[in-house]
Structure 1
Amino acid sequence: MTRWVLTGTDGSPRSESAVRWAAEEAVRRGTGLRILHARPWPDTAYAHGSLASDLRPAALRALAETAERVRRAHPGLLVETAVVDEDPADALLSAAKGQELLVLGSRGLGGFAGLLVGSVGLAVAARVDVPLVLVRSNGTAEPEDAGPARREIVVGVDGHHASEAVLDFAFAEAARRGARLRAVHGWDLVPAWTAAGWVPPQVNATTREATEQAALAKALAGAHAAHPDVDLVAETRLGGAAHAVVAASAGADLVVVGRRDRHHPVGIRLGSVAHAVLHHSAAPVAVVPHG
């Protein structure tokens, strides 16, 4: 076995929720599970007291207890653990190289639908070179309840520039789960601006929608042919890509979006759609990097 489902834990309820999700996914994929705990330990000057000697054994004990809970829940699943003396984002990015999948926890939906992904999750999502799943937590070790499960995967699709990697991931995940795949393409009527101000789009909405539906069907054809048993629903929604995917996420088991590798003067950054979906989706989100 050369590829693993990797997950990170810091002992918080949201990371425990991610561990549970990752273990179930490892069983579905027939891989093992690696659980990583990473933290920058106190430097030598700070560590002369008892704090440094207490931290590592406590982390090792907590990690061993987490692994044992997973083994009891999934007999036969191969589980490995590691404690790394490194910044969490850097450690996760390094450990994820060449692995099947990375799974992390994120804050659950609270009193406002925004800012749901912590700094580590965003840093990793922008740079990791394998698919990443961010799992919502409701403050306990259970994944957040986004409503009645309907055994459905949602994938956001750019009908005119679809990514094979994103579609292959979404179709394969739907096939593993025996779930319906809902492919969503959002589009907008773009207004024009003149010296006199805003001018409504001079486009027939019905004609434009037919064009977008045809583009979506064409984009999905190859991946669907490779997974003919997957129940596919293709839909276009007026209102933009991020809005369309977030609206479809309610009740889904997983939402899949792409992350194009765009190099920015200050580093790789998430695209606007992936960023919005990560913050606002009601379901776990898979971010799939692609060229």
Structure 2
Amino acid sequence: MEINSALFQTKQVAQDFGSFGTWMSLRSGYKYAALRLNRYACFLQEIERQWRCVPEADSLVRSFGPEYMRRHRLFTQWLGEVHSLTVSTEAFRHAAESRQIQNLMDQLPANSSYRQLAEDYLRVLEQRHAAGRTSLRSVRLALTPAIALLKAAGHSILGQRHLNRYLEAKPGQRAALTGFISHLRKQHAYELTMPAKSSLPNQRKRIEKRLLELLETGVKSQTAKKEWIYLGLRYFHNVTARKAQKAVSGARQPALSQGINAHLEGKIYWLPAFPAPSDALSAGH
């Protein structure tokens, strides 16, 4: 213990490390303690660097995160048994939400324009949280669809088409996304509007109309075949626009009489065969 304690600059932290080592030896045996103390020595060195002493348990969770503290749970137990310092459930919850928020932000490239938009919106949400107007969980839930929309735009300029496509694929995120769209309009002059809810049934009618048009004219070109598969997946199987587009390249047609097998994420979706021009002509008689 004396050798390891010499790793520390402050007397208090050195004493705490010695106390922790003794406690671990008595609890788990000397060999177990000897094998694991070096890892905890690094942990204590970081604590010393930040605070110069062992802080409140909640401060450790906020700084290192819940997962890190779980990996060092013996130190947390020592704090509770020897110093009566316990980590509150709220601190763990707060730290977990904060880490999830940071993980969301990290999905956007650092220093990118969309990352800056997200950080600006996060500041607004954090101000509401600090004022007691919303919970940290609500901050995360509001940020989630905002990040997803920005990712969907990719390298192109965020526009109405991206918003429409996202809500078409994720209609349940409509309410959570409203605040972000309002923020973009007011603070960044984006000309975006939330599409009317009635547009979804109308969209199904438009798909049906286009399928009937293809049925009448027949499907000959490769572009028309891809459109038939795309529209068929959306109409007959309620597949989202993004997934339907993904499936187009993987579809195949064993035979006209058997229809089309569209392969998507390990599943096979059956679709009516491509209507041939001759079928279209006979359908008119």
Q: Place the TM-score, normalised by the shorter chain, in its bin.
A: under 0.3
Higher share of residues assigned strand: 1
Scaled by the length of structure 2, what TM-score is found?
A: 0.21
The structure whose Rg is larger is 2
Scaled by the length of structure 1, what TM-score is found?
A: 0.20
Where relative contact order (Cα < 8 A, 6+ residues apart) is larger, the structure is 1
Higher share of residues assigned helix: 2
